[in-house]
Amino acid sequence: MTTIYHSETIITMDGGPDDGPDAPECVVTDGARIVYVGGHARARELYGAGCDEVDLQGRVLMPAFIDAHGHFMNFGMAARQVDLRTCGSVDEIVAALATALAARPTGDAAPVVGVGYDHNNLPGYRHPTRHDLDRVSTGVPVVAVHRSSHMGVVNSAALAHVGITATTPDPVGGRFGREADGATPDGYVEEISALMIIAEGLADGARPSLLMPGARTDPRDAIRTAQDRYLARGITTVQEGAAAPEEVDALIAAGADGDLMVDVVAYPIVTAGGLDVLDAHPERIGAYEGHVRLGGCKMILDGSPQARSAWLSQPYEAEDAGAEGAVVAGDARTHADGPGQCCCGYPSLPDDEVGDYIARAVDSGHQVLAHCNGDAASEQFLTAYAAVTADRPEAAALRPVMIHAQTVRDDQLDRMPALGMVASFFVGHVWFWGDTHLRNLGDDRGRRISPVRSALDRGVPVTLHQDAPVTDPDMPVSLAAATTRRSCRGTVVGPEQAVTRYEALRAVTTGSAYQYGEETDKGRIRTGLRADLIVVDRNPLTCADEDLQGLTVLRTVKDGTTVFTRQEHP
């Protein structure tokens, strides 16, 4: 079906004039491709007879958003768990979980899973403990997952079910919180290696979830839920950014059955057999089949800065040992010498394993994504990738990606272009946790969180992401955070790291397409490219700062077909 989209404002992101006398007036799609961009009269001459014409009535047409990093299936799964994001106290967390348990059929003993609590929003910055969650149930496993997805808390029943006791050692790259005796588990679980022990122990034959242990959701339901919400936000290419083998299988099955409309780029995680998964599906390397392709592999090298487990080269700011909650259950500072001391976080993998995984991936021609929140983790990734590149110059062409890059330093950014490395910033941290970073890192480091300006000034390719389900896949939040550097509490955090509207918009369209190696197919409005388009209610390049975060998607077009329309859209 040929369709003419006519609008007074079309943002092409194609480097040409999007305003003035040469601005395009319409875009024509035919099937999955854009076939014309230009004047309205000429479009009608060429395509008018028998085609569908859509008058956007002054609304803005632009390329669809591209998700540079997130966890597509886990976002769909999280949407079906107990939402703890608005809880402002431990009592509210307990009440929300207890309400969910009470609503269940009698005899349902599956784990109760809540997601999204944030100790930074709780009195004394205190995590819950097993004793708190025992108020929900002493017989049914109860799990509360931190908003970072890098830690959580379980009740006594969950600890017993999994077999976590005073003699259970901490796993490499993670730990279990302990009570005052230094041995008895207090229910706190920190980092992916520890969370996976809980996940596998609570799975009981179901698919264990990497990011939310104990969650029970049909994979197809998770995919449908996530797809609907991504499309409603104008995102037509999504990422499954730490895919377990079962998640890859579920995506492939959904694609084969015609259930997928979004394009999904999956990155199996190396510590869960990711390189073997890539070897098992060579037909999906570099090419979509049923809207699914395998983009490469993923490594997790450290933790979360807002939870003080990201691996830094210099310590976190110390807090007053006498202050309420200064040293609390699950606080990464308990790795240090004593109460009130501070630490630098810690790595998830040793140097030799990181180097080996990178070498194996590069030898097979795979892109590598590495989660690096702390600058010490960034250093580990840069050093290891540079060592591999020294013997394999083709490694730079694979476009490795430093995911999050929250505290990456200028001297590290200087080294990234030679490695072909992309910096994908979780810039929404400025909005959600800007004040927390100033508290945890001090003013100098805190104001540099997500240093997008420094990266662009050094020629580093940049993308922006939301890391769903950590935060919702809401691109306007990233656009506003990158351009205003304003936190949810009104603090301007490092205004010198702000970028222009166009630079921010490029990072979620053309920049993300480049990260995926799809820049000749997506991310712009140009003849011959995929017809992945959105209609929004205001111009993101010119609207007021206070209006940018409220940018609303009215229509989403994927491969020339409208897949979402908001009710009020004409």
Distance between CA atoms of residues 201 and 204, nearest Å: 7
Q: Residue range 461-486: average pLDDT? A: 97
Strand partners, 143: 113, 154
Distance between CA atoms of residues 400 and 389, nearest Å: 11
More confident residue, 244 or 521: 521
pLDDT at 23: 87
pLDDT at 259: 96
pLDDT-derived band at 322, boundaries 50, 70, 90 = very low
Q: Is 278 left (phi over 0), alpha (psi -120 to 50) or beta?
A: alpha
Distance between CA atoms of residues 368 and 301, nearest Å: 12
pLDDT-derived band at 486, boundaries 50, 70, 90 = very high
More confident residue, 148 or 409: 409
Distance between CA atoms of residues 11 and 541, nearest Å: 9
Distance between CA atoms of residues 193 and 210, nearest Å: 9
Evaluate the CA torsion angle 356, 362, 368, 373 in order and state its sign.
positive
In this model, does residue 336 exceed pLDDT 90? no
401-418 pLDDT tens trace: 999 999 999 999 999 999
96-120 pLDDT tens trace: 999 999 999 988 888 999 999 999 9
Distance between CA atoms of residues 186 and 151, nearest Å: 13
pLDDT at 333: 35
At 316, list the tokens: 């976190």
- Cβ-based neighbours of 499, under 8 Å, separated by 6 or more: 452, 453, 456, 482, 483, 507
For 206, other C-beta atoms within 10 Å of its C-beta total: 16
pLDDT at 161: 93
pLDDT at 335: 39
In this model, does residue 18 exceed pLDDT 80? no
Distance between CA atoms of residues 92 and 539, nearest Å: 39
Strand partners, 27: 5, 37
Residue 347 to residues 336, 357, 412: CA-CA distances in angstroms? 15, 15, 18
Distance between CA atoms of residues 406 and 6, nearest Å: 40
Q: Residue range 456-478: average pLDDT? A: 97
Q: Residue range 382-405: average pLDDT? A: 96
pLDDT-derived band at 393, boundaries 50, 70, 90 = very high
63-75 pLDDT tens trace: 999 999 999 999 9
| Model confidence, pTM | 0.91
pLDDT at 203: 79
Euclidean distance between the first and the last CA atom of the chain, given in angstroms as a whole number? 20
For 416-526, where are the alpha helices, taking DSSP H only?
429-446, 452-457, 475-484, 501-507, 510-515
Q: Residue range 191-218: average pLDDT? A: 76
Q: Give the chain's mean pLDDT.
A: 92
Distance between CA atoms of residues 396 and 521, nearest Å: 21
Backbone angles phi, psi at 158, to 5 degrees: -70, -45
281-312 pLDDT tens trace: 999 998 999 999 999 999 999 999 998 999 99
More confident residue, 207 or 74: 74
- Cβ-based neighbours of 228, under 8 Å, separated by 6 or more: none
Domains, the chain, ordered by start: 2-64+525-565 (2.30.40.10), 81-203 (3.10.310.70), 220-305+346-515 (3.20.20.140)
pLDDT at 201: 86
Residue matched to tokens 């079910």: 161
At 519, list the tokens: 């820049």
pLDDT at 49: 85
Give residue 342's identity as a one-letter amino acid code.
C
- Which of these ranges, 16-20, 87-91, 167-171, 183-187, has the smallest mean pLDDT? 16-20
| pLDDT cut 70: percent of the chain above it | 93
